[in-house]
Chain A
């Protein structure tokens, strides 16, 4: 581009031509500024064993305790997992999983007994987990209409094309449209504690606080404002094909009904990996005296609605306590301990090298 033809110069007119780096400054002494002369004051750090060595030790010394802390925290988290897919003959849910029919009016129920060896002290979070369920499939991820979910009335009547093939049913727009909504997890999970004396008490499950606050309050909104009659608003629409009841009957609590139903919101946040868990309920700690879930026998009552056998999926229920770092995951702790030890080890090696050969390496940054 620099060789571009510039008529000005040729014709002997002295006005500067636009050429880059060009002829503009002919006959003019270049400015003696630090920038133009490439003499800006500069800091010129040089990494040497001398500078890096302390850093390695410091990193090692910081990381190893953090790692240990993380590891211990993770280990202290109590987690109980139970698979209720029902693929085995012996499983209580085998029948339900076999005789699956979307349209059957009679829900299939099954009961899974389990026992906790250790009490769960603090708040217990109940998750459901699915495996081999590709919530992150592209066709699936994009199959939603966020403006519909945000309460936009026009989108309610005319959902986005992205929702195909779950956009309309029998010439009525589906609300909420799309594959994600259509495949919402609809098993009902109930937890009962079996007292040693034989009584069966249902454990109260909190269904609020399981979705992101911003999702619940901003991103998801019912059409027609907060106080509208949902039944009327959704009159023009039809329920998703696979749902048993329309969206305005998800819950009796108006704060948790329609699009702002938290189960629904949680489901709508697509998981990152094909094996995932989603928060289902929270079991709040009652008081400081008794553990939230004491040691003993429990039963899990499942209303088995959600078919997973067709794609070799699994369904789980997970009971877990939570720490400041979230759920149980030993990975971070191990990683920190490993990296910290490696750094420390490298520090030792470097120190050795440094001492043996490195008297010349002892200079650090050069100030300029």
Chain B
């Protein structure tokens, strides 16, 4: 936090200079006379945090910045400075242990980072200097150096491509290690640079380093003798990023632009914001309560001490005189140190070890996710990935699931289904048989290429062939690796089409392949010329003039090409909503029908339009585009403006429909999530109709679901002002869904509460922005709250036409709504990153749209279907484990410290500890820590299969149920009860301290040891009672801990320890065991302390897991109650029968 703020501070300084100037090859440029070599950082990548020298201070500083560690440090210091009852060792040792272990761990990680850094920094590179190639270590590269990179090498820093060994001045790059996209990306040299790099005299002006991998603006000034300096624009296509790998190109030369920690790669790894789980918040709340208990205990004791001392003869009886120093101490200072002493005495109530155990539990626990073979996907050969272990338990608390559609609910494996040209429908002749049943009402079936005019057809197919950014996979000599390339590789079934296409979006590949099936084959892009083979097997060549890139805001892309005959054509394809307004309206209607019908079928539709540009028009557009591309500031906006200007008054030629199949088990997963009480919201950029049909297919909407639609269309129905209509609809829906709905009973399962009407809600991006930012005269909070209330009462919500930021906005709105529900976002693409980062838990799918989502997620899974197990089984178990861990820790320390507190009333409030220092120290470290750790890693109170089968079980722990104040109170009361019992049980035993059969008496250390023995056994056995899943590890650890305690006590009391000042426990334990009374009281107290817990378990109605397990058990016993079971509701029966078969 602090660091980030500092960064911002310093970053702010840096940003004032918003561009940097680089002298290529360090040649002084003629324009500026005074050549001051600018200072940039060197090319050292420093990911390590520490050096040998600063490790100790820096690491300690970092560790003590944590509140808990700092608290313990303070306690330790108080113990050192003030005369306190317990030696500083008691709190110093655990603290030292924790700090050391953490330091060793961090030191080891840092050492690994050092090693990795060195590997990178010492990597040899070739730098051109004064015409010679010089081998250098990578870290010595300076900004402005000209660097040579050969094939299959990674770029040592961010470079501007100056020269390539390829003829067409391009090079291919794969950014697999940066964003996971394994396709080859084409990068271009700066046009018109001289071939002789030595004589190149140029400066580059570019923006300061910034982390966006896909954005770059710069300008290159090339100075030639006696000429005006030429200016070239630089964009991301000229920039080679550090970390990317050169492919298919022998070698390139580039000038170092950003080095070391300023490379985009390094900037991208500055860590993410910390997400905190709800459990952690609960812990903090409980801590506060315990801190209050601690302080009030100390205050009570201090007060009573002074009240007691004010009586005659109590403060300083003759047998117990104060030291000179004590007498001289000022009374108020004395009071204060007394208070501190009590704090120290009771400080064990907030244990250091809890933090350690919680951390360990999370760290180790997360391995079970990565180890789970159910998450392993044979297709991509990967399992689940855990990026943070802090949120394991949050997986069990999810209330809202926000899912992306494309690639998440659907496979993002596109297949060209049909197209529509000029209003006539063309079905894909080669498509699978499953489409046979598909009924086409308004177009000729299978007699294609006849209805529309041949010209139109070919124009349409050419458009499909040209308007894209697909690359053809080059059949290089190393063709063997063709199947290693990801799914975009072409369908290999037909030998003549053994052509791989690589594109950033699978839609494009599907379209190009679709065109291929209709006879137009895209052969590739060479030298800015696109080659296609038409139906007559003739080669057509088009000059690619401009690509107007796709972006999610415009939702379309265009190309401008010039035909051989000199015509300049613009082809544009995009979403219907973005195309229709830009074409002649009369063409729209014919196509719209098809588009809408296709959309309802669940296909992804794109409209294709074209426009012939007159030379004048082209000249204007060309100039505009070039200008915009050269702009250093606001280039995006300027480009956008030009794009919008160019893409107007086109004519619509057709539309395409591409099918995106549902993910495996998408419907089952969604149903399970809903059954678990989660509200599923689909947030997609797709069209409403497509999204809706996907929702139906996923069973998010069902036949009976009443859909409440709030889209641009419904808003325009009334023919009035949108805002009025919006409010009206909102109020109307609100009435329907919220007010008229019967009060929602928590825990009512959707599946068997058929009586209530279910609602589904649909909203689109435009309307959403209207809801979020209504005109100022309206009441913005009213809109929002109405909207939220409606959404919360619907079983499923579909938000379509969402921009990435809007997705995050929605997540944020729900996250901050009343009750602050736990949200989960799942997505696979770059457009989901914002919502993944925004939600409490972000899940990335290792899909086809690169690795960005995975990189920014907290957990990554290969397939959507894995979400079910991740939440229902892992999440549930983690939550139960950690919740129990937290409660147990507070409980066990409460009943540990309470007797010590009570003892103060019997020892003149003198801060005399009840237990020996060794016991105080070891209690949390050794005697009671391992069983709970084992429990919190292994417990399965309900078997995983049952959790998966009965999604409703998830509701039992919803809303942080196990860490609410109720359970906390229960544990606290239990702790107090046991603490009282331990203390007073032994107190009454000690009313006659002659407990041995030889008449000898026990002293205060025996008292403490008896209490402590009861305590350790009770606390451990309490955990044993709670354990529902006894593996050998649990047995080993629980019985082992008890045995260790006994062994340790013997050992500790069996020797006169030379380093101890006082041999307090010498033979105390052994003597205790020789006393029958001590045995009897220990047994009695343990039993009595556990009694309420046993009773509670028995008296509690067998419900939930137990009931179900019982039924299962009965039926598996093949019992006499079959008659009874038939009366049970049908669904219940299927459940128990199912779980029956599982086990």
B999 contacts A25, C-beta separation under 8 Å: no
B993 contacts A47, C-beta separation under 8 Å: no
Nearest CB on B from A288, distance (A): 19
Interface positions of B from 1099 to 1133, Cβ below 8 Å from A = 1102, 1106-1107, 1109-1110, 1113-1114, 1117
Enumerate chain B residues within 8 angstroms of A41, measured Cβ to Cβ.
1031-1032
Enumerate chain B residues within 8 angstroms of A323, measured Cβ to Cβ.
997
* Contact residue among A142, A214, A218 (Cβ-Cβ distance under 8 Å from B1062): A142
Chain A 202-229, CB-CB to B under 8 Å as 1, else 0, gives 0000000111101100110000000000
Nearest CB on A from B1057, distance (A): 10
A336 contacts B944, C-beta separation under 8 Å: no
Q: List 12 A-B contacts (CB under 8 A).
A: A10-B243, A19-B387, A41-B1032, A146-B1060, A266-B1001, A279-B999, A279-B1001, A327-B992, A331-B989, A332-B1077, A339-B1087, A363-B1110
Q: Does B166 contact A (CB under 8 A)?
A: no
Given contacts A6-B112, A136-B1004, contact A12 B154 (CB under 8 A): yes
Nearest CB on A from B1086, distance (A): 11
Q: Report how far A336 CA is from B1087 CA in the complex, Å.
A: 11
Q: Report how far A342 CA is from B369 CA in the complex, Å.
A: 47
B1097 contacts A47, C-beta separation under 8 Å: yes
Q: Does A187 contact B (CB under 8 A)?
A: no
Given contacts A44-B1028, A138-B85, A209-B998, contact A335 B1084 (CB under 8 A): yes
B381 contacts A4, C-beta separation under 8 Å: no
Nearest CB on A from B619, distance (A): 44
A322 contacts B911, C-beta separation under 8 Å: no
Q: Report how far A79 CA is from B1054 CA in the complex, Å.
A: 34
Contact stretch, chosen from B141-149, B317-325, B563-571:
B317-325
* Contact residue among B910, B1004, B1106 (Cβ-Cβ distance under 8 Å from A139): B910
Contact stretch, chosen from B360-368, B407-415, B438-446, B748-756:
B360-368
Closest to A47 in B: B1097
Q: Report how far A9 CA is from B119 CA in the complex, Å.
A: 12
* Contact residue among B383, B390, B993, B998 (Cβ-Cβ distance under 8 Å from A2): B390
4 smallest CB-CB distances across A and B, nearest first, come from: A183-B319, A12-B177, A327-B994, A21-B386
A30 contacts B1006, C-beta separation under 8 Å: no
Given contacts A326-B992, A326-B1077, contact A40 B1066 (CB under 8 A): no
* Contact residue among B45, B363, B1107 (Cβ-Cβ distance under 8 Å from A1): B363
A326 contacts B996, C-beta separation under 8 Å: yes
Q: Does A232 contact B (CB under 8 A)?
A: no
Enumerate chain A residues within 8 angstroms of B615, measured Cβ to Cβ.
none
Enumerate chain A residues within 8 angstroms of B1032, measured Cβ to Cβ.
40-41
Closest to B373 in A: A30
* Contact residue among A7, A282, A320 (Cβ-Cβ distance under 8 Å from B117): A7
Q: Interface size of B by Cβ–Cβ distance < 8 Å? A: 128
Given contacts A326-B994, A332-B1077, contact A37 B373 (CB under 8 A): yes
A322 contacts B998, C-beta separation under 8 Å: yes
Given contacts A165-B324, A339-B1088, contact A36 B1061 (CB under 8 A): no
Enumerate chain A residues within 8 angstroms of B1081, measured Cβ to Cβ.
332, 335
Nearest CB on A from B804, distance (A): 22
Q: Name A's B-contacting residues (CB within 8 A).
A: 1-13, 17-23, 25-32, 36-38, 40-49, 52, 59, 63, 66, 70, 123, 125, 127, 133-147, 150, 160, 162, 164-166, 179, 182-183, 209-212, 214-215, 218-219, 242, 266, 269-274, 276-279, 282, 307, 310-312, 320, 322-329, 331-332, 335-336, 339, 342-343, 346, 350, 360-361, 363, 366, 368
Chain B 170-193, CB-CB to A under 8 Å as 1, else 0, gives 000000111000000000000000
Enumerate chain A residues within 8 angstroms of B1106, measured Cβ to Cβ.
46, 48
* Contact residue among B109, B368, B907 (Cβ-Cβ distance under 8 Å from A4): B109
A274 contacts B265, C-beta separation under 8 Å: no
Enumerate chain B residues within 8 angstroms of A277, measured Cβ to Cβ.
992-994, 1001
Interface positions of B from 79 to 135, Cβ below 8 Å from A = 85, 108-109, 112-113, 116-117, 119-120
Q: Report how far A331 CA is from B1003 CA in the complex, Å.
A: 19
Q: Report how far A202 CA is from B992 CA in the complex, Å.
A: 27
Q: Report how far A47 CA is from B1076 CA in the complex, Å.
A: 31
Enumerate chain A residues within 8 angstroms of B40, measured Cβ to Cβ.
none
B1004 contacts A141, C-beta separation under 8 Å: yes
Q: Name B's A-contacting residues (CB within 8 A).
A: 45, 47-48, 85, 108-109, 112-113, 116-117, 119-120, 154, 176-178, 243, 245, 265, 269-272, 274, 312-314, 317-324, 359, 363, 366-373, 375-376, 381-383, 385-390, 906-908, 910-913, 938, 940, 943-944, 985, 987-1004, 1006-1008, 1025, 1028-1034, 1056, 1060-1063, 1066-1067, 1070-1071, 1075-1077, 1080-1081, 1084, 1087-1088, 1091, 1094-1095, 1097-1098, 1102, 1106-1107, 1109-1110, 1113-1114, 1117, 1143
Enumerate chain B residues within 8 angstroms of A343, measured Cβ to Cβ.
1091
Q: Report how far A346 CA is from B1087 CA in the complex, Å.
A: 14
How many pairs of residues, A versus B, come closer than 8 Å at their CB atoms? 359
Enumerate chain B residues within 8 angstroms of A20, measured Cβ to Cβ.
363, 366-367, 386, 389
Given contacts A2-B366, A66-B1080, contact A218 B387 (CB under 8 A): no
Q: Which DSSP category, helix, strand, loop or mixed, fits chain A's interface?
A: loop
* Contact residue among A7, A66, A279 (Cβ-Cβ distance under 8 Å from B116): A7
Enumerate chain A residues within 8 angstroms of B322, measured Cβ to Cβ.
139, 165
Nearest CB on B from A360, distance (A): 6
Nearest CB on B from A126, distance (A): 9
Residue in A3, A52, A142, A162 whose Cβ sees the most chain B Cβ within 10 Å: A3
B999 contacts A282, C-beta separation under 8 Å: yes
Nearest CB on A from B157, distance (A): 12
A37 contacts B995, C-beta separation under 8 Å: no
Q: Report how far A354 CA is from B120 CA in the complex, Å.
A: 72
A29 contacts B243, C-beta separation under 8 Å: no
Nearest CB on B from A140, distance (A): 5
